[in-house]
Amino acid sequence: MCLAVPLKIIKIEKKFAVARVGSLKRQINIEMLDNLKVGDYCLVHAGFAIQKVDIKAAKEMQDILSQIPNARKPKK
Amino acid sequence: MLESLKNKHIIFGLKKIIADTCFSLGRIKIMHVCGTHEQAISRYGLRALLPENLEVISGPGCPVCCTPAFDIDNLVTLSLEKNVLITCFGDMLKVMGSRISLSQAKARGAKVKIVYSILDAIEFAREHSDIQVVHSAIGFETTAPTTAAALLNNCPTNFSILCSHRLIPPAMDALLCQKDNRIDGFLAPGHVSVIIGGKAYAPLTNKYNRPIVVSGFEPADIFYSIYLIAKQIKENQPKVEIEYRRAVEWQPQKKAVSMLKKTFDIENSFWRGLGEIANSGFVLKNKFKDFDALHKFNLKKQVQDSVSFKNCLCAEVLKGKIYPNQCPSFAKTCKPQHPLGPCMVSYEGSCAIFYTYRGNKD
């Protein structure tokens, strides 16, 4: 129910935008977000963009995880 | 970019630091309140990788499961007796009211249409101005702003909602204040927190001294959040932390919260399995009464606890007292094809998820 999927904005028209994930394109309502630009990623829930994905924070998380010592290689 | 969040080496690295952190601790019980968290935990078999003294249990994280039978009864009454077309999200269809479900009402001739968004329901109402359309507005703080945004724009006069939106922090409070709760920390729901911000949980950590970590939905998100909770317990420094920083900020999402405040008041609300919880329900402000199906069709508001179903332990599952497979009916008389209770109906219900991934070691 609270599922939200990251979609890439490809076109903006006032309160609405066309966003894409893979080959799926969908019109979404973007009035909850300011300053959304074409190329931004946003989380979409029930037809509404609810948050812009913070790419810098995502990269920081990736850095944190890359420093986790690998205990062992998983069995194949 | 998110590939590392599913990387096996990283997951096994996290497994080791969780085990090291928990080594000297007693039993730890972490609760999550999000169906999507349960999906990830069960799908990736994450419970099998946790140390023996740490358990992660599901709480009231599925809005459909928490919707009381009373609300379903109102939708059934509208559809069968008032000639109203009901729009709802797909997983509402099979949830039982006290008598029948919307799916059974449909079999008796009721008009019920599944929608992806409230916007689809409004568009349908615009295209069919000769019929009354009532949208079943369920969901937590993630979904409530979409209802608010829709109502703040011009809706057609043949459209209204049956409001069943609820708030998560009051439910967490209700669980923590039960003396036998044994909850040592919470994985807070990522997308609810997008709207309310990490700050919304600070009163709970202050009141109950429990760690709360807002988590994303990939396996490494969940494992890293579990590690942060275990670390807080070990260091005896309970606080709110945000692991899901690519989407969640400390402050609430301003525009969404402003829309919520313009549209809803907050009142006590009934939750299936949990009973009445103070200040846990969104109700439409008086100025939206023309779009409130309760007012428009003179329906009753809930004044007592919802019904329970025979041989169904959904209430105990929703309170995090038992795992779904500890219910005697699980996978025997209760299956997704023939669910006894709501947790086996919704794809976000713990019982349905446990059933789907029951082949995975848990």
| B122-150 per-position pLDDT tens digit | 999 999 999 999 999 999 999 999 999 99
The partner residue sitting opposite A2, judged by closest CB among B5, B142, B224, is B142
How much is the ipTM here? 0.91
Helices (H) then strands (E): counts for chain A:
1, 5
| CATH numeric code, B64-168+252-296 | 3.40.50.11740
Residue B249 pLDDT exceeds 80: yes
CATH number at residue A44: 2.30.30.140
Q: Do A68 and B14 touch (CB under 8 A)?
A: yes
Q: Is A55 inside a domain boundary?
A: yes
Nearest residue on chain B to A48, judged by CA atoms?
B146
Q: Is A72 inside a domain boundary?
A: no
Tell me, yes or no, if B16 comes closer than 8 A to chain A by beta carbon.
yes
Domain count along chain A: 1
Q: Is A41 inside a domain boundary?
A: yes
The proportion of chain A whose per-residue pLDDT surpasses 70, expressed as a percent, equals: 88
Average pLDDT over residues B170-177: 96
Q: How confident is the model at residue B198 (pLDDT cuts 50, 70, 90)?
A: very high
* Measured CA distances, B283 to B138, B266, B280, B293 (Å): 11, 6, 10, 11
Q: How far apart are CA B281 and CA B277, in angstroms?
A: 8
Which of A8-12, B68-72, B255-259 has the weakest average pLDDT? B68-72
Question: What is the DSSP secondary-structure string of B134-191?
Answer: EEEEEESTTTHHHHHHHHHSPPPTTEEEEEEEB-HHHHHHHHHTSTT----EEEEEHH
Give the pLDDT confidence score for residue B303 in this predicted structure. Answer: 66
Pinpoint the residues of chain B covered by CATH 3.40.50.11750. 2-62+169-242
Rounded to the nearest integer, the mean pLDDT of chain B is 93
Average pLDDT over residues B297-322: 82
CATH class of B2-62+169-242: alpha beta
Tell which wins on pLDDT, B228 or A65.
Answer: B228
Residue B362 pLDDT exceeds 70: no
Residue A71 pLDDT exceeds 60: no
Q: How confident is the model at residue A1 (pLDDT cuts 50, 70, 90)?
A: low
Q: How far apart are CA A44 and CA A25, in angstroms?
A: 12
Give the pLDDT confidence score for residue B310 in this predicted structure. Answer: 77
Per-residue pLDDT of B148-163, as tens digits, reads 999 999 899 999 999 9
Residue B312 pLDDT exceeds 70: yes
The residue written with tokens 């009402």 in the block is B105
Average pLDDT over residues B104-117: 96
Q: Is A76 inside a domain boundary?
A: no
DSSP state of B69: H
DSSP state of B105: H
Give the pLDDT confidence score for residue B121 in this predicted structure. Answer: 98
Q: How far apart are CA B70 and CA B342, in angstroms?
A: 13
Question: B69-92 b/e with 16+ CB inside 10 Å = b?
Answer: bbbbbbbbbbbbeeebbbbbbebb
Q: Is A43 inside a domain boundary?
A: yes
Residue A40 pLDDT exceeds 90: yes
A24: closest CA of chain B, how far (Å): 15
A11: closest CA of chain B, how far (Å): 19
Domain coverage including residue A42: 5-66
In chain B, residues with a C-beta closer than 8 Å to the C-beta of A46 are: 89, 116-118, 139, 143, 146
Q: How far apart are CA B211 and CA B205, in angstroms?
A: 6
Q: How confident is the model at residue B300 (pLDDT cuts 50, 70, 90)?
A: confident
What Rg value do the Cα atoms of chain A yield, rounded? 16
Q: Do B194 and A50 touch (CB under 8 A)?
A: yes
Q: Is A75 inside a domain boundary?
A: no
Contact B305, B312 (CB under 8 A): no
User: Which residues touch B231 (CB under 8 Å, ≥6 apart)?
Assistant: B21
What Rg value do the Cα atoms of chain B yield, rounded? 21
DSSP state of B84: P
Nearest residue on chain B to A70, judged by CA atoms?
B13
Tell me, yes or no, if B140 comes closer than 8 A to chain A by beta carbon.
yes
Nearest residue on chain A to B62, judged by CA atoms?
A1
Per-residue pLDDT of B21-30, as tens digits, reads 999 999 999 9
Q: Is A58 inside a domain boundary?
A: yes
Give the pLDDT confidence score for residue A4 in this predicted structure. Answer: 85
Give the pLDDT confidence score for residue A3 in this predicted structure. Answer: 80
The proportion of chain B whose per-residue pLDDT surpasses 90, expressed as a percent, equals: 83
User: Which residues of A sit within 8 Å Cβ distance of B?
Assistant: 1-4, 29, 31-34, 43, 45-48, 50-51, 53-55, 57-62, 64-66, 68-74
Residue of B118, B123, B136, B142 to mutate, interface with A, max A Cβ within 10 Å: B142
Q: How far apart are CA B329 and CA B308, in angstroms?
A: 14
